[in-house]
Amino acid sequence: MQSKKRYYFHGDVVDGSTQVYCAQHDDMVDVAHFYDMEIHPPSRLSDYDRYLRSRKAWNRRNSPLRQHYSRPTTARNIFA
């Protein structure tokens, strides 16, 4: 059986790495990225709200995300 791809919330620490997932830029970045106003400028959604949005989509009843992805309950997140 094919294993599911890891699903990352905004601010999740990447498994086996010190990098963090930025949903705003859809990229794995260093933590400093979030504090650099030029590369990660403030947007309508705060980083915390963006994290909550990821979590809400993931936790939605019968979310199709969970059919294709997995996210350990022990995942670390810098905004949680």
Nearest approach, Cβ of residue 80 and Zn ion (Å)? 17
- Which residues, 6 or more positions from 53, have their beta carbon under 8 angstroms from its beta carbon? 10, 45
Report the interface residues with Zn ion, using CB under 5 A: 22, 24-25, 40
Residue corresponding to tokens 């400093």: 32
Q: H/E element holding 34? A: none
Q: Which lies closer to Zn ion via its Cβ, residue 16 or residue 35? A: 35
Nearest approach, Cβ of residue 10 and Zn ion (Å)? 9
Report the C-alpha gap between 12 and 8 in whole angstroms: 6
Residue closest to Zn ion when measured from CB atoms: 22
Q: Which lies closer to Zn ion via its Cβ, residue 25 or residue 68? A: 25
**Tokens encoding 65:** 């995300």
Q: Which lies closer to Zn ion via its Cβ, residue 15 or residue 27? A: 27
